[in-house]
Structure 1
Amino acid sequence: MPPPGARPDEVPPFIVRISPAPDSTVVDFDGALEIRFSEPVRIPNGLAREMFVTPMETYEAQTGFSDLRLRPEDGWRDSVAYCFTIPTDGINDLLRNEMEEPVEFCFFTGADIPHTSVEGEVIDALTGQPLEGARVIFWAGPDSIPYGAISDSTGRFAARGLPPGEYEAFGFVDRNRNLIPDRVLESYDSTSVTASPEAPTELRFVVVAPDTTPPLLARALVVGSETVQLEFDDYLLNPQPEAPGIAIRDSATNATLEIIATLIGSADEVTFLSDSAALADSVAAADSAAVADSAAVGDSAAAEAPSPDSAGAAASDSVAEEDPVLPSRFITVRLGAALDSGTYRVSVTGVVNVRRLTGGGDTSFVAEPEPPSDDSAAVADSVAAADSAAVADSTAAEGDSVTVQQDPVPPAPDSLDIPGVPSDTTGAPPDTVEVPPDTVGVPPDTVGVPPDTVGVPPDTVGVPPDTVGVPPDTVAAPPDTARRRA
């Protein structure tokens, strides 16, 4: 029998020892930071570049069978708090089981431990969503050591151990991984902050792509008889610091059109105050009508009516769930009157983009007459009339057919006394009569009984209902009409 084997290793590696110990103080430290793992691991060559260390310096990394050693190229500084974040990407055991969670720790090289804390979040300015993996650095001056932090999956960051003082803080997306913000290529935001041990400091970075040109009006588009949408080449602050100057003139008469409202955002995203008021009135009217109808129903409807408290709670919930106000490349303009056909010139000044640059521009647009729209109400009325007429006709037809079926049908005579016709041909179908129907003196259409019904045997009285459409007075034609016809 072969020897029993063991189950495959599915346990990821983890750190079992760190020296110097986390949150410890080591004065005049001159060794290497040692990190030992629970088993032999594979450590990528670029780990020192992937991990986050503050102060932000260049570190040398030496890897062993199951350990990692780190040392700054310029040596450890005195009275500095060193913080490390060991990532999970790239560190795995021999069976490629990766570390599950990153490891963060700090130690100090001085007797006085700075108990400062700067926390905050990094947000994308265009989407309003938190940014994961964004870097935050703090500079106290040209010759100072840069400190930093990195944001988690919720966009939050925390920087500990900053020496008390004034800093210039940058939040940025480090695309080229050089640990410093590149204001020409990378999205960033900056602010000034004071690190103090008395209370934690809260920051909020709203990063946006770099831009050195002011916003420019690109085009104007008619989106309604009284609405014009202006599109710019940059995202604009929302709201604007000051109301921009917008003028729309008729190119033929040079008359300036009246503008009653402007809003940041495309026409399908904004709602003007007048529109919302009209909507509120219509909703209130519908609600009052519904209340009146429910009042007519009785107490059961009153029991189901929502209470004012529940209505207020629903309103507050709807307000709380409103989308955040985001920058936009559009300004929607509402005019005081409908546009006539023709060409118009629009000029804009004083618009500010997300980089706080002021611009504007001018352009032309053409208003064309709206094509005639189908009168949906008339179409609906005609369809309804057609349907009602069809229903009435079908009802009448059904009623007539029922009435005819209920009338007694006189039996046909057993024999017909037709001169010149042998007795053995009596009761034969009309097509065997020697005299053609067209030779009869009386036209066939004036005879109450059609030619093909002459001489119908008694067993043929049960004609299907659809053929019993002959008026009752003509069904029971006396035999003498048959003789006159013959």
Structure 2
Amino acid sequence: MALLIMLGCAREMPPPGARPDEIPPSIVRIRPAPDSTVVDFDGALEIRFSEPVRIPNGIAREMFVSPMETYESEVGFADLRLRPEDGWRDSVAYCYTIPTDGINDLLRNGMEVPVEFCFSTGAGIQETSVEGEVIDILTGQPLEEARVIFWAGPDSVPYGAISDSIGRFVARGLPPGEYEAFGFVDRNRNMIPDRELESHDSASVAASADTPAELRFVLVAPDTTPPVLARGLVVGSETVQLEFDDYLLNPQPEEPGITIRDSATNEALEIVASLIGSADEVVFPLDSAALADSIAAADSAAVADSAAVGDSTAAADSAVVEAPSPDSAGSAASDSVTEEDPILPSRFITVRLATVIDSGTYRVSVTGAVNVRRLTGGGDTSFVAEPEPPSADSAAVGDSAAVEGDSVAVEQDTVPPAPDSLDVPGTPPDTLGVPPDTVRRRAPRGAGRARSPGLRAKRRRE
């Protein structure tokens, strides 16, 4: 009994010495056959694999079927059978996409490529094709497993497709005609776009056997409120950044109306330009007025230098020095951005002013701002411009002046005083500059010789 239990719990492994199975499963039979027509079909769609497979529960939801249907599934040892809950429709072409992930063999080797096929329950399979891509509007990146559905009217059959790993989709077999198409992220997996809950986009398209159609869906999250100005922030001496509670279209259909006033004087500040994006992302074109001032300043400086040197030729040459034009500067800036870079929405508008912002409180008003759902809004708010702290250069200059003053005082303190030994009578010339106490302790030579006989007599008595 114990041996039987151990064998029952053993893992499925290849025989000893055999190479592990690395071959993924494949589909060896489909009934009804691909591209076939079966009138009054009432059986189950059968898909047989090349080896035993693991098929997860809910595989019918993982597969994509056009027309959009809800399926009952039955899983066998190496096969899968599908049937619509409401039965097969008459004279309709059914197209299937079996995904690569989810279906594995017993050693977890997955299918390598998706399998697509169609069959018809009466009408011929149309040679129509609608292709396209699905991307996220906020990131500009392709969306995988996004659904696309095609409706020709309220009571029409819903056809569809699903996007691959690079956001591409292909819908085949649509009856020729006009359709309203929806691209969406099917988060609740009910296979219909819930426009109040799921990111989606829509477009109109004509399916025709003569001309393939191309669509591009840019999915946007649902939104029913216009954008509102949240705050303003000074991000430079001449730059203000306006933040909204929603993402704005980039570029805007029309330039929003922006007014910035000094709250103390009610004077409106002159705005040079405004761009969608945060201040670290946008690049303003050169201002023509500022460019003219800089050219004039450069010319006058060059003329002054040439006059100081005395070279009249240099002065003449400086008059014809040309600065780059605004157009060339703008073209250089545009060249730095590759065509592949997507233009993404942003919650910011960056405003460049004509003059430096003084410290104080300012009132800003915005109208005509359009969000990614094309709702128009704006709003009012206030911001404060703080006074700029003293620059490091000016502080360094002040410190250096103080150091220089201190050094002068130190130099004055180090001047030696006049020696007191000059006032001591009888001091030899070589004692000049010796401290006064040293000079006073040295006795005159004459006094020493007068006492010497007495000292010698004392020594003899001792």
The TM-score normalised by the length of structure 2 is 0.71
In structure 1, the residue matched to 2:445 is none
Which residue of 151, 167, 171 corresponds with 2:163?
151
Displacement of 1:131: 0.9
Decide which of 46, 58, 75 is 1:63's aligned counterpart.
75
* 2:379 corresponds to which of 341, 355, 361: 361
Q: Cα 1:117–1:444, aligned 2, differ >3 Å: closer, same or farther?
A: farther
1:89-238 equivalent positions in 2, closer than 5 A: 89-238=101-250
Q: 1:223 to 1:51 in 2, by over 3 A?
A: same
Q: 2: distance between equivalents of 1:93 and 1:322?
A: 40
- Residues 17-416 of structure 1: pairs in structure 2 closer than 5 A: 17-274=29-286, 318=336, 320-321=338-339, 323-375=341-393
Is residue 149–residue 160 contact of structure 2 (8 Å, CA) maintained in 1? yes
* Shift in CA distance, 214/319, structure 1 to aligned 2, threshold 3 Å: closer
Q: What is the deviation of 1:378?
A: 7.6
SS in 1 for 2:240: strand
Instruction: Provide the C-alpha distance between the structure 1 equivalents of 2:432 and 2:121, rounded to a whole number of angstroms.
Output: 125
Question: For 2:382 and 2:333, how far apart are their aligned partners in 1?
Answer: 42
Measured at CA, do residues 106 and 180 of structure 1 come closer, stay the same or move farther in structure 2, by a change above 3 Å?
same
Partner of 2:187: helix, strand, or coil?
Answer: coil
Query: Structure 1: any 5+ residue segments left out of the alignment?
Result: 286-313, 383-438, 447-486
Higher mean alpha-carbon deviation, 205-214 vs 140-149, is at 140-149
How far apart are residue 87 of structure 1 and its match? 1.8
Alignment-mate amino acid for residue 78 of structure 1: D
SS at match of 1:48: helix
- State how far apart, in whole Å, the 2-side matches of 1:233 and 1:315 are: 29
Letter in 2 for 1:123: I
The aligned counterpart of 1:423 is none
Q: Find the aligned partners of 2:80 and 2:353 in 1 and give their Cα distance.
A: 69
1:63-93 deviation digits (Å, cap 9, x = unpaired): 1121111111222222212111112333222
Q: Which amino acid is 1:152 matched to?
A: D
How far 1:138 moved relative to its partner? Answer: 0.7
Gaps of 5+ in 2: 1-14, 299-331, 401-426, 435-462
Q: C-alpha displacement at 1:316, in angstroms?
A: 9.6
Check 1:227–1:164 CA distance in 2 against 1; reply closer, same or farther (3 A cut): same
Q: Is the 8 A contact 2:93 2:124 kept in 1?
A: no
Aligned residues of 2:150 and 2:182 also touching (Cα < 8 A): yes
The total of aligned residue pairs comes to 356
Partner of 1:273, secondary structure, is coil
How many percent identity over aligned positions? Answer: 83
1:28 to 1:72, Cα distance in 2 relative to 1, 3 A: same
Counterpart amino acid of residue 41 in structure 1: V
Aligned letter for 1:375?
D
**Inter-CA distance 86–376: structure 2 relative to 1 (3 Å threshold):** farther
Aligned partner of residue 6 in structure 1, secondary structure: coil
Q: Which amino acid aligns with 1:252?
A: A
Aligned CA RMSD, in angstroms, stands at: 2.9
Residue 110 of structure 1: how far off its partner (Å): 2.5
Describe the shift of the 1:11–1:231 C-alpha distance in structure 2 as closer, same or farther (beyond 3 A).
same
CA offset at residue 322 of structure 1?
A: 6.1
- 1:132 and 1:158 map into 2 onto residues whose CA distance is 13
Alpha-carbon distance, 1:34 to partner: 1.0
Distance between the aligned counterparts of 1:194 and 1:356, measured in 2?
25
Task: Check the 8 A contact 2:128/2:208 in 1, yes or no.
Answer: yes
Provide TM-score, normalisation by structure 1: 0.68
Q: Following TM superposition, where does structure 1 have runs of at least 4 consecutive aligned residues deviating by more than 4 angstroms?
A: 275-278, 314-319, 376-379, 439-446
Alignment partner of 1:239: what SS?
coil
User: Residues 376 and 86 of structure 1: is their aligned pair in 2 closer, same or farther, counting only changes over 3 Å?
Assistant: farther
Alpha-carbon distance between aligned partners in 2 of 1:159 and 1:376, rounded to the nearest angstrom = 69
Q: Give SS of 1:49's match.
A: helix
Given that residues 358 and 385 in structure 2 are in contact (C-alpha distance below 8 angstroms), is that contact kept between their aligned partners in structure 1?
yes
SS in 1 for 2:286: helix
- Identify if the C-alpha distance between structure 1 residues 178 and 360 changes in structure 2 by more than 3 Å, giving closer, same or farther: same
